[in-house]
Amino acid sequence: MASAPAQTRSKLGTVYDKSQIEQLQAQYLNELRRMYAATKCADCQTRPANWATLKRAAFVCINCAQALRADASNRVKNCLGTYLWHPDEMEIMRNANSTPTQ
């Protein structure tokens, strides 16, 4: 009996095939870098702002990200490759940060 493909769940609760998500990571991380490259932290205005809060679709610095993580509803994610990004999460960030998707 063949085993089911490995799955991964986004912070928004959607389940995806892990191998498909892994294939998209380089593209997603490059896109996120383009989005946050010119931004300051949405909370304290420092740089780099290479974490994202999905609740507000905003980029924040590591210090503010740590504070936000205390509230699980913020759904904070690192944009440097530590976490897998999923299509539903990327859609939120794209809609709020209008960067071309190449």
pLDDT tens, N- to C-terminus, the chain (102 residues): 667 789 999 999 999 999 999 999 999 999 999 999 989 999 999 999 999 999 999 999 999 999 999 988 889 999 999 999 999 999 999 999 875 544
* Rg value, the chain, Cα: 14
**Residue that the structure tokens 């944009």 belong to:** 79
What crossing angle do the helices spanning 87-97 and 18-36 adopt, rounded to 10°?
Answer: 20
pLDDT for position 1: 61
**What pLDDT sits at residue 54?**
95
| Tokens coding 3 | 């085993």
**Whole-model pTM?**
0.86
Structural domains in the chain?
15-94 (1.10.220.150)
